[in-house]
Amino acid sequence: MACLYGHGPRLLNLEKTPPHLQFNDLILTGYRPISTVHGCLRSLFYLHNEFGNIYSHGIPFFCFLVLLPLNIPWSDVEQTWMCVFHYLACLSPTVGSVLYHTFMNHEGGEPIYDTLLSLDMVGVCLVNTLGCLPIVYITLMCYPVMRILALFAYSIISAWGILCATTARSNYGRLRAFIWQALFRLVLFLFRWQGDGVGSPTSLHLFFTMDMLAVLGGLVNLSRVPERFSPGFFDYWFNSHQIMHVLVICSIIYMHWGMLEDLAWIKTFQCPVME
């Protein structure tokens, strides 16, 4: 099967790979040997157990990079920073992920691996941070003081989340690092749902779906389903991490759809005059 993708080096079983790469003991085969930068890049062209992880975020990265600028209404929005933040938010998790999965077997060993993992986590934190700040701004548009405080509070929570995510030593710890951001967004969505916050009437369910997909992806990755039920069978395709990648991309797409609705809505909305 590997010959369909090009010839690569002899792949390793779990017990032959370095300890820092044995983070999922249910993936039994298909590990790349320790490689130089050139060897890591060469692995883009042959099948191994990180191949699907690389391309499940690599292909969306290039699609987002090229297509989103054509879809974002840059000139129609007075607050251009919201468009910039949104664009960067859509790109950030895919960049860190591709670098992490491509170079995790670099000959630099565990220090390089830890740096790449931290970069991957920073990308996840950025989509949670940069992606939500425009939503905070729009939801509280008619409450200037509350809006400033909320933007500041969410930025502080996000900074704390980045610190926790990049220093966590387990998947559970990394998932837990995003809880406060998720709770903040939940309160924000409830505020909008009750009619106190503002925004496009059609965007709220898109943002809610965005978060549900992201949470589901994290839980799937944490549970290691489906490989838990058949160790070794999902080494190359359809394992929990790949499923999480797909769910993350779907979450980003829903975030984009929701933001497009809000950006179209904000052009015609005027806050009511307070008596």
Does the annotation list 86 as a binding residue? Answer: no
Tokens 């797409």 belong to which residue?
A: 253
**Run of H or E including 245:** helix 240-266
Are 32 and 51 in contact, with CB atoms under 8 Å apart?
A: no
Q: DSSP assignment, residue 17?
A: S
| Alpha-carbon span 65 to 67, nearest angstrom | 6
Q: Is the dihedral of CA 190, 193, 194, 195 positive or negative?
A: positive
What is the three-class DSSP state of 12?
strand
How many other CB atoms sit within 10 Å of the CB of residue 119? 16
User: What backbone phi and psi angles, to 5 degrees, belong to 227?
Assistant: -65, -20
Place of tokens 């989103």: 68
101 is in an annotated binding site: yes
**Cα–Cα dist 141/130, whole Å:** 17
Separation in Å, CA 216 to CA 213, 225, 251: 5, 12, 10
Distance CA 168, CA 43 (A): 28
Closest by CA position to 248, among listed 268, 230, 221: 221
Annotated binding residue at 241?
yes
Going by the annotation, the residues of the binding site are 101, 241, 245
Going by the annotation, the residues of the binding site for Zn(2+) are 101, 241, 245
